[in-house]
Structure 1
Amino acid sequence: MALSIKQHMLFHVMLVTGALCLLLTPSVAELPRFKHPAKPQQSLRLLVVGDWGRKGTNNQSLVANQMGIVGEKLNIDFVISTGDNFYEDGLKGVDDPAFFESFVDIYTAPSLQKTWYSVLGNHDYRGDVEAQLSPVLKQKDSRWLCLRSFVLDGEIVEFFFVDTTPFVNEYFVDPGEHTYDWEGVLPRMSYLSELLKDVDSALAQSKAKWKMVVGHHTINSAGHHGNTEELKQILVPILKAHNVDAYINGHDHCLEHIIDKNSGIHFLTSGGGSKAWSSDVRPWSLEELKLYYDGQGFMSMQITESNADIKFYDVSGKTLHTWSISKDRNVPAWI
């Protein structure tokens, strides 16, 4: 049975209070860290795709083909996956053929033979989570790197990957017909509090020019799922406190760019890797909403010390939207 509004509010208060108390004490654990050096000219180029693993259907193969073309033009360094890597219910085990059918045999372009840094989505949690995190998959395809939460150090930029599914109340209190694999997450309060503490600590220690957080779930979105209130309440304050430049996500099957008018944080949704939702958009201030595209596609980023240039592409490779984020937030961006 779903929680009442009053119970939801009580849960939020408890979680926020517990998290803030733990944030006052140093963490004994640190998020795993990976190093990806910037090129000699101090730049990184990458693609971002989410919500893709459908064995090539729902235009997944077409998106993959265009990713290969753009990836070659940009000479990308790596790919970020924003989760929901395997539909409908994650992987059944390390030998599940879906790993080949939805990943290895789909993203075959030479330019995509780079590391894929991936987080888990809610659909991944409906399968065997440990299988998707297992080093056995990396033995099957060396590109694959998936953890619950971790830091990717690209020298000029650090990406902080956050496991967002355990934040969402609905999956615990009203999962419907779905079964979620919570091994490694329970007790939930302790898991979330430790995670928030570790993310806060990692952001505080970062000396990178750019700080970007990657998660599966939306924070600000005009799409089907809309805002994830749990993240707005307990993750966004940490992002603001540490001047995070962008939050990158999937979950909504669209391409989207929102700039929060108060914090200046860019909310970038790249969840168009396969199935999309046509004409499924909520009202949003045009002052903040710079792009909403209800179709398949992906995003690229080119990052230097002074600028982060983002570009969204549709399923045919057409450019839908470009934007340059400057480290000097007083400099107007261009479209």
Structure 2
Amino acid sequence: MAVVWNKHLVLGLVLGFCLVFSLGELERFVESPKADGSLAFLVVGDWGRRGNYNQTEVARQMGIIGEKLDINFVVSTGDNFYEDGLTGVDDPAFKESFVNIYTHSGLQKQWYNVLGNHDYRGNVEAQLSPILKKVDSRWLCLRSFVVNAEIVELFFVDTTPFVDEYFREPKAYDWSGVLPRKPYLSNLLKDVDLALKESRAKWKIVIGHHPIKSAGEHGSTAELIAQLLPIIQANNVDLYINGHDHCLERIETSDSPIQFLTSGGGSKSWRGDVSWPNPKELKFYYDGQGFMTVQVTEAEIDVVFYDIEGRVLHQWSTAKPLFSII
């Protein structure tokens, strides 16, 4: 008996195959470098407090520096809305903590946001909703994704579901889209590993809310050290950038080539909370509010930390040869 193929059936099968084939891959976004091939972006974390705790002052300096550097975009390391995320897409906190605060002309660029643990205490889907982009076109928040900017790729990782203690009080967090947890984390780690392996960028930067290594109040995250760190080390990642600890810091350890950078000073900071076993590894620590900038060329990365008055607190750079010998 002859089989008659309906064009709609064929299209459905093809689309279905493509959907299955693409399942699990991280969504990708493209940023074009400047005409000279360079790239610049700001990093701020732990900020959403309706302008309180010097959030407005930090935002003003971010705008001034952002305009001066002609940044390509802004990175948020999470805890975007305190204390309990957003209640929905119509929550006034979105305007009160984001739209009405980051008004400087130097900040009218794309914002790439990850979720923090406080964001998971609210309606997670609200922050992920494209409806918010209609309210403010700068907003983009996903659980995990990749930004490809040719010379550098940024890999954003949803770190909150890794932390065991949050699951001891499950009613306090919105785990829709995460449960069952084990396969979620397993698939995420596979996706990150694959994306890093496939990357041909000169520089690789991984961004998450929780620190892998930190001297702040929360300190290092054991679950990330055990599960994520081996993957990013095996794939030659240059920087790991996080928030969560309300401070600015840079850690360089003898057992890893990765620079561990914290930018969690977007609003409320923790004074005096610092502890690290090897002082030589703690290259910089500031227990006040501020933010950081990252400038990238094919040959070099430059990182600068600023306080709420726009003063440079710390600078660090590293270089790679323009051409590698095979």
1:244 is matched with which residue?
A: 237
Equivalent pair of 1:27/1:201 in contact (CA under 8 Å): no
CA-CA distance at 1:174 after TM superposition:
4.5
Q: How does 1:129-140 map to 2 (within 5 A)?
A: 129-140=124-135
Distance in 2 of aligned mates of 1:41 and 1:287:
36
Q: Does 1:106 align with 2:95?
A: no
Letter in 1 for 2:197: A
What is residue 40 of structure 2 aligned with on the other side?
45
CA distance in 2, matches of 1:316, 1:38: 28
Contact 2:276–2:282 (8 Å) recurs in 1: no
Which of residues 209, 219, 227 is equivalent to 2:220?
227
1:199 matched to 2:192? The reply is yes
Letter in 2 for 1:214: I
Deviation at 1:283, TM superposition (A): 2.8
**Shift of residue 287, structure 1, vs aligned partner:** 2.3
Determine the C-alpha separation between the residues in 2 that align with 1:189 and 1:293. Answer: 36
Give unmatched runs, 5+ long, in structure 2.
1-20, 322-326
Q: In structure 2, what is the equivalent of residue 333 of structure 1? A: none
- C-alpha change, 1:233 and 1:96, in structure 2 (3 Å) is same
Aligned to 1:16: none
SS in 1 for 2:172: coil
Amino acid at match of 1:79: V
CA contact (8 A) 2:79 2:116 kept: yes
Q: Deviations over 1:82-132 (max 9, x none)?
A: 000000000000000000000000000001000000000000000000000
Partner of 1:261: 254
CA distance in 1, matches of 2:22, 2:221: 26
Residues 294-317 of structure 1, C-alpha deviations (whole Å, 9 max, x = no match): 000000011000111000001111
Match of 1:83 among 78, 86, 95: 78
Q: 1:117 aligns with which of 112, 132, 137?
A: 112
Aligned to 2:290: 297
**Partner SS for 2:155:** strand
Contact preservation (8 Å) 1:47, 1:71 = yes
Q: Determine the C-alpha separation between the residues in 1 that align with 2:253 and 2:39.
A: 25
Moved over 6 A (4+): none
1:27 shift after superposition: 8.0
8 Å Cα contact 1:81-1:118 kept in structure 2: yes
Bigger Rg over Cα: 2
| Matched letter for residue 219 of structure 1 | I
CA offset at residue 230 of structure 1? 0.1
Contact 2:299 2:320 (C-alpha < 8 Å) held by counterparts? yes
**SS of the residue 2:146 aligns to:** strand
Q: TM-score, normalised by structure 2?
A: 0.91
Residue 182 (structure 1) aligned to one of 175, 178, 189: 175
Separation in structure 1 between the aligned mates of residue 221 and residue 56 of structure 2, nearest angstrom? 29
Of 217, 224, 227, the residue aligned with 2:210 is 217
The residue number in structure 2 matching 1:144 is: 139
CA distance in 2, matches of 1:115, 1:249: 19
Instruction: Report if the CA contact (8 A) 2:145-2:156 is conserved.
Output: yes
The code of the aligned residue for 1:87 comes to Y
Q: Distance in 2 between matches of 1:112 and 1:231?
A: 31
